[in-house]
Structure 1
Amino acid sequence: MKPHRHQKSKRQGQNLYQLSHRANLRADAAWVLFQILEHGKSSRDVMPKVFARHETNNKAWLQEMVFGCLRELPKLQYWLRQLLDKPLKGDHKLIEHLIMLGFYQLHFSRTLEHAAVSETVEASTVLGHHGLKGLVNANLRNFQRKDIASQAIDQPHVNIGLPKWLYKQLLAQYPEQVESIATNMNERPPLWLRINHRVESKTSFCDKLNSEEIDYAEPNFENCGWDLHSAFNASAAIRLERRSDVTQLPGFDDGAFAVQDLAAQLASELLNVQPGDTVLDCCAAPGGKTAHLLESQNQLARLDAIDSDGERLERIDENMTRLGHKTHFGDRLNLYVADASSEEVLKRVLGNTTYDKILLDAPCSATGVIRRHPDIRWLRKSADIENTVELQKKILAVIWGRLKPGGTLLYATCSILKQENTEQIANFLTNNKDAKLVPLHKNESPTQPGLQILPGDAQMDGFYYARLLKSE
């Protein structure tokens, strides 16, 4: 079953798939911003299209400019409104994004001022808007001359770098932590690796890093402030001190490791798969947690991974192949395209199979991984959250029926919004008398269930976990 895809208008299709201008760093960066912010496209869809036009050493600059503008967008838009007489419309709107790119270069980057101005102005011609060169030049010169960036801004959500709706939600839910949350959302994410113990021990892998003088660090949960029932082990995790091309690290081709944030690595530890267990991994793509479950328990009886998106499921297959899991686990590992919210679909795909352990990595707002995907804060809208909560509720109800009596379900999201997390699970516990909370920390209760990890805790992404036991 292939996922439904919305039809694009002809014009949208051209904007997304046809780069009609010649390759140019600033023009391409502005085009990506235009696609994300005006057409709602994901950076994962459009960035590869411009990367393909540039040498490797320029790709890092492109990503820094695009992601930097997305992180600082409220300020860039505020400054633009101070200088632009009236908003540009239609295809000319692209030039607004080019001007904001110029602001970013002048104030936030190390780009030489002359290059930031002259080459950004030239990019307007590359984009086919020669007649707006003067406008671009005037705005960038006035930005410098009037020292716009030093002027005070009295809008909290602009200063904090968030859309107004998200700022209001975080202020209501985390009044004492909202500033630290926003600060961590704007940080560059660390690079966490998960060592594949089936291929290589952590000691051996770290020895190879040491021999190549690659600095790394171990996980440290001491300052998170959690009163946990038991300390996390995270025995497969290391963090590289400097970002690196992972394909050039020792053991990549042999499947010795995978890239996975530390927060996501906790799923396997919390689910605690035992020998002989049957496991269902729901909404599994791209497969990081799937692989880790396999690596954590070589003697599991069977693992079925499902996802509603066939293309994303192919990524799981690719990851399982590189890590050697397809060969090793054989018919104990099964990948299915299936909608977890539909019992009818699951019955057709899985029959009447029930499972000892279920990992439900539920669809969510992804507000916990904004530092990793800064376009999320602009692609998500307030109205999306209610729809997501309803989808989570539907999936939970369907998947609960797939859990054996006495079995464990681990609910996970990469969100920090309480309506997707604690409120969702509290409501589920109220409405399902055969569900019992298995606390992860000492202050947990059925009305305040689960463990909420906030962005930056132990240098992790924002994540939420709740562990539920089904009565026998």
Structure 2
Amino acid sequence: MRKKVFDLLLNFYRTKRIDGKRFYQEISVLNLKDRPLFKDLIWGSIRKWRYLNWLINRFVRGNITVELRIALLIGIYQVLFEDKIPDYAAIDTTVELTKSAVNVKNAHKLVNATLRHISIERDRLPLPPSEAILYSHAEWLYRYWRDRCNIPDLSLLLKVDSTVPPITMRVNRLKCTRDELKEKLIDEGIKVRNGYYSPDALIVENLRRDIRTLNSYREGLFYVQDEASQLISHMLEVAKYSRVLSICAAPGGKVTHIAQMQEDEGEIYAVDVSEEGMNR
């Protein structure tokens, strides 16, 4: 499974994008218990990308191959951010991955030594010169927020912006109310609470299964969509029979929300540069 993660992140390093089609192909053949880790190793590594690369540059001397960098990145992410994986397991699996995926003499020894050192020093690791690096944000965005937006606690914003959001559902009001969906989810063993801002949002608190196996999902009673994205459609104040153009529409979350708010009585033109995204 980690070799699949390695290949996807190697492609991301070279292209600056995740191959969505390949991602879904790879995850579809994994058993359900391995899928959460597969997703977290990929998206978590990308979320911490700048900080992880800074650590690699700090602890590894000289130029290294891209393949070796990706192996280190996966290992460091597990050691520092995967609480459910013991350090020894993260190190051992990364060493084995390096042996099979990195064609550099003694690369596995370098990986082993680097990860063990970071594991031992985790509470004493040096801080990067910039919070933008620490929280893996682009330097231009950090400077824009710092110099032009007068944000009271920029450190808190950076920290929150780099955390994993909760799984949030958007109720399909064409089929049920939010309270009705909540009751149905409780019957399926899923604990949820109302969102903070969107009247259509339910935040999941204890999901321990593939969300696609829920009967309420199969019946089309909800769509997985972050609360901030849900608010965009409400801000439009779209009316029935109106005509809407959605640009960068894939994979269709806001489009389906707008259609729902129109009660399927309107016109929506959805366009996107990604054929792959539109097909999803």
Counterpart of 1:281 in structure 2 is 245
1:406-445 aligned at under 5 Å gives the runs none
State the superposition RMSD in angstroms. Answer: 2.6
1:46-61 aligned at under 5 Å gives the runs 46-52=22-28, 54-61=30-37
Per-residue CA distance 1:20-79 (angstroms, 9 max, x = gap):
xxxxx3333232222212332226355335424532211211222222222333332232
Query: Against the structure 1 CA distance between its residues 165 and 87, is the aligned structure 2 distance closer, same or farther, given a 3 Å change threshold?
Result: farther
Q: 1:80 & 1:299 partners in 2: Cα distance?
A: 52
1:269 to 234, 248, 261: 234
Query: Against the structure 1 CA distance between its residues 73 and 212, is the aligned structure 2 distance closer, same or farther, given a 3 Å change threshold?
Result: same
Give the match's secondary structure for 1:251: helix
Q: 1:126 & 1:299 partners in 2: Cα distance?
A: 53
Structure 1 residue 259, shift from structure 2 partner? 1.6
| 2:101 pairs with 1:127 | yes
- Match of 1:169, as an amino acid? Y
| 2:262 pairs with 1:297 | yes
Counterpart of 1:143 in structure 2 is 118
Query: Against the structure 1 CA distance between its residues 274 and 242, is the aligned structure 2 distance closer, same or farther, given a 3 Å change threshold?
Result: same
2:92 to 109, 115, 118: 118
Give the match's secondary structure for 1:210: helix
Query: Against the structure 1 CA distance between its residues 194 and 169, is the aligned structure 2 distance closer, same or farther, given a 3 Å change threshold?
Result: same
Counterpart of 2:160 in structure 1 is 184
Per-residue CA distance 1:271-322 (angstroms, 9 max, x = gap):
33444x331232133222222223223373x31323044444444xxxxxxx
Q: 1:82 & 1:266 partners in 2: Cα distance?
A: 41
Q: 1:148 & 1:268 partners in 2: Cα distance?
A: 43
1:163 to 120, 133, 138: 138
Q: 1:299 & 1:77 partners in 2: Cα distance?
A: 47
Counterpart of 1:85 in structure 2 is 61
| 2:17 pairs with 1:41 | yes
Counterpart of 1:106 in structure 2 is 79
Q: 2:51 & 2:259 partners in 1: Cα distance?
A: 45
2:204 to 218, 240, 244: 240
Counterpart of 2:177 in structure 1 is 201
Q: 1:46 & 1:181 partners in 2: Cα distance?
A: 33
* Mapped contact 2:67–2:102 kept (Cα < 8 A): no
* Mapped contact 1:35–1:46 kept (Cα < 8 A): no
Counterpart of 1:250 in structure 2 is 215
Structure number with higher relative contact order (C-alpha < 8 Å, ≥ 6 residues apart): 1
Normalized against structure 1, the TM-score is what?
A: 0.52
Query: Against the structure 1 CA distance between its residues 170 and 199, is the aligned structure 2 distance closer, same or farther, given a 3 Å change threshold?
Result: same
Counterpart of 1:96 in structure 2 is 69
Per-residue CA distance 1:178-231 (angstroms, 9 max, x = gap):
22221122211122212222222333222212223321111334xxxxxxxxxx
Structure in which a larger fraction of residues adopt strand: 1
Counterpart of 1:307 in structure 2 is 271
Q: How many residues align?
A: 273
Structure in which a larger fraction of residues adopt helix: 2
Counterpart of 2:45 in structure 1 is 69
Give ranges in structure 1 of 5+ residues lacking alignment. 1-24, 222-233, 316-472
Give the match's secondary structure for 2:44: helix
* Mapped contact 1:27–1:98 kept (Cα < 8 A): no
- Match of 1:200, as an amino acid? C
Per-residue CA distance 1:235-291 (angstroms, 9 max, x = gap):
33222123453212232222222122222223443333444x331232133222222
Normalized against structure 2, the TM-score is what?
A: 0.84
Q: 2:147 & 2:18 partners in 1: Cα distance?
A: 28
Query: Against the structure 1 CA distance between its residues 27 and 293, is the aligned structure 2 distance closer, same or farther, given a 3 Å change threshold?
Result: closer
